[in-house]
Structure 1
Amino acid sequence: MLSHLPNLGVGLGFRELFKSELFLNRQPVDFLEIVAEHYLDAPAAKQQELELLAAHFPLIPHAINLSLGSAEGLDRDYLSKLAALIKQLNPPWWSEHLCFTKAGGIDIGHLSPLPYTQEAVEVVCRNIAEVRRWIDVPLILENISYLVALPGAEMTEAQFLAEVAERADCGLLLDVTNLYTNAVNHSYDVQQFLQQLPLERVVQLHFVGGHWHDGVLIDSHSHSTPAEIWQLMDDVVAKFPVKGMVLERDENLPAFAELVAELQQARHIARSHGKWV
């Protein structure tokens, strides 16, 4: 199923602050990734914005608060709204994070890592099965960055991603920045991580730069993509059948021309490996 997904090319995570510049520079942007929560229960102005974006770009919804790792199950009210948005847009795929954001009915306000255990695999797969009853568009799962590795792991993070993707028949959104950040902060080998992923399931990438704070690398989406992450992207695109790459800049937004230059660099990497030519 994943092999039949279209090649979308190089895209940008949409942020309202650069909407005007985006429409003045549409040509370098193949598609947009939108934060799904911005358009759930949307006021008229946001609905009009969504319709405008959809008229000019392919849109990929990227959800933040579905909480696929919550042991108590999913919020059906939220899920119904998300399903309606995805049905409205009819994208080739949509994405969510492999994590939990809610526990005991409380929204904890950030993307929290799961224990890498068979029990957690079962929870996530059960929740994804529930999602599929509402949404029949292919789902791809993103690896998150985390500062604390939970104890009791029965497998590596990459093996956990692979197990969930295979069992639930999902694709993967490989956030190259998150991968690099975790490898630096937790001292693991990036290449070994990549070797443990199911090659054919990597559909999309995220990339951006973060910053250092007290000796810890923070995934803040606040700086241009550094050389180490460009090199890792080159390695990934050479190995995996990537169909889309998204620059995910949130803070400290530069001149739009700098974002375009990063998109062009990503496009150059893809073309150097015979992608989307």
Structure 2
Amino acid sequence: MERLGTGIGWRPEIADVVERMPGIDWVEAVAENVCPGHLPESLTRLRERGVTVVPHGVSLGLGGAERPDPERLAALAERAEVLGSPLVTEHIAFVRAGGPLSASPRLEAGHLLPVPRTRDALDVLCENVRIAQDALPVPLAVENIAALLSWPGEEMTEAQFLYELVERTGVRLLIDVANLHTNHVNRGEDPAEALAGLPVEAIAYVHVAGGFERDGVWHDSHAHPVPRPVLDILTDLASRVAPPGVLLERDENFPGGDELAGEVEAVRAAVEKGRASARGAVPAAPPPAGGAQAGVPDAVRQRLALGQTALLSALVAGTPVPEGFDRVRLGVQARALAAKRADVVAKVAPELPVILGSAYRPAFLAYAEGRPMTGGYRRDALDFAGHLLRDGLPRDAGSRRELRDWWRERSGPVPRSRRPAVRLARATRRVLLRR
């Protein structure tokens, strides 16, 4: 595994800052936000300077009950090839549920949700990882996620779960130390114990990010400065192994360039502190190759599908809380999912908050309650607008007309502005106006 060094998550909002920032060896870009045929100029310039770019997937759902979608795998592989990346990364999580395995409608979480640490879930995850490895042109690394809730009846610790995953598949690990801190606050899991049990030699690189605590719950926001406890976990990890790369994640609420550079320096300093007190730290080495294993029986996938569907339905559709889950924590997670959904819809359809003003957020949260997302955020934005229009909203006639025009422009298979009749009418109008 090649050495990556110190990096930062590349986001369009801070592209210029990242390009100017000294000491950045590599960047990570959200895979789903990169169009292979139209790479952002900033990423192209970084690559030309020799800066490594790693695509980081968020929608594959390797921990889900179904096998990975071949189209999503092909898209991830294409991005790795276009970017000339040495590896690609994804998450140990499920992001959708329902469908044939559970004989229920498909549901989208719009978020990374934890898989149960059970034998069934591990068997499914291992097979899904092997399928992904076979489809990708470069090595795969998978990330531990943050969680607000725990599954009942878990059979392994996170370290045991990850150790066996590496042993059975040879996959590399992307260890997020901020997520270890999140799970410490929310689930009472000791980060030091987790690090002690991890196969640290399989680490491809490390994520570091900020968050905030509210009412005893830690929210992994990626929108706040990295707190000291997270840096301390990074130092502990660096004392155990020399990670090939360390990367700062920041997704929103971006500070100024100097402050962001200061966060990168704090990350670098935490790593150096760990190396200075290394407890026999060793360079990361290739994990075991992982042998061929029998396929997972459909009954195992079906059991996992039923559990994940019941949980996701309770979170996004208001169905009863499955037995054994903490109702309070599940409520916190449900509200967090709804809030994130509102935020992302506002980003993919920025016209909606402009048209609706301060009414946007309460209107969207009311709409989302009991109406799960089924077709991605852009479809969600259209469905929300259609829902408002059917209810005669907004009350202001001008705003309602503007919303109706926006919805009509985007709801057809071809945008109205691109349809021949519309183009002809607009061209004729321009000619008449010139006379």
Q: Taking structure 1 as the reference length, what is the TM-score of the superposition?
A: 0.91
What do the CA deviations read for 1:148-171 (whole angstroms, capped 9, x no partner)?
Answer: 101121111221122112211011
State yes or no: 1:86 paired with 2:80: yes
Q: AA paired with 1:78?
A: R
Matching residue of 2:24 = 29
8, 14, 18: which is aligned to 1:12? 8
Matching residue of 2:218 = 217
More strand by share: 1
Q: For the Cα contact (< 8 Å) 2:52–2:85, is it kept in 1?
A: yes
More helix by share: 2
SS where residue 60 of structure 1 aligns?
strand
What do the CA deviations read for 1:226-264 (whole angstroms, capped 9, x no partner)?
Answer: 111111111111102301111001121111111111212
Q: AA paired with 2:45?
A: L
Q: For the Cα contact (< 8 Å) 2:185–2:216, is it kept in 1?
A: no
Q: AA paired with 1:71?
A: A
SS where residue 268 of structure 1 aligns?
helix
Matching residue of 1:72 = 66
Matching residue of 2:172 = 171
Structure 1 segment 99-110 matched on structure 2, within 5 A: 99-104=93-98, 105-110=106-111
Q: For the Cα contact (< 8 Å) 1:199–1:241, is it kept in 2?
A: no
Find the aligned partners of 1:34 and 1:192 in 2 and give their Cα distance: 31
Q: AA paired with 1:247?
A: L
Q: For the Cα contact (< 8 Å) 1:60–1:94, is it kept in 2?
A: yes
- Root-mean-square deviation (CA, aligned residues, Å) is 1.9
SS where residue 212 of structure 1 aligns?
strand
Structure 1 segment 1-277 matched on structure 2, within 5 A: 5-25=1-21, 27-40=22-35, 44=38, 46-56=39-49, 57-104=51-98, 105-272=106-273, 273=275
101-110 or 202-211, which moves further after superposition? Answer: 101-110
Cα 1:217–1:257 shift into 2, 3 Å? same
Who wins on radius of gyration, i.e. which is larger? Answer: 2
Find the aligned partners of 1:21 and 1:193 in 2 and give their Cα distance: 35
Find the aligned partners of 1:262 and 1:250 in 2 and give their Cα distance: 14
Find the aligned partners of 1:220 and 1:168 in 2 and give their Cα distance: 31
SS where residue 246 of structure 1 aligns?
strand
Find the aligned partners of 1:166 and 1:90 in 2 and give their Cα distance: 28
Could you tell me the percent identity over the aligned residues? 37
> CA offset at residue 190 of structure 1?
1.5
Find the aligned partners of 1:268 and 1:89 in 2 and give their Cα distance: 29
Find the aligned partners of 2:152 and 2:219 in 1 and give their Cα distance: 21
Matching residue of 2:387 = none
What do the CA deviations read for 1:41-90 (whole angstroms, capped 9, x no partner)?
Answer: x673x454543332232111111001101212111111111111112223
Uncovered stretches (5+) of structure 2, i.e. residues with no partner: 99-105, 284-435
Find the aligned partners of 1:185 and 1:178 in 2 and give their Cα distance: 10
Q: For the Cα contact (< 8 Å) 2:15–2:42, is it kept in 1?
A: no
> CA offset at residue 139 of structure 1?
1.1
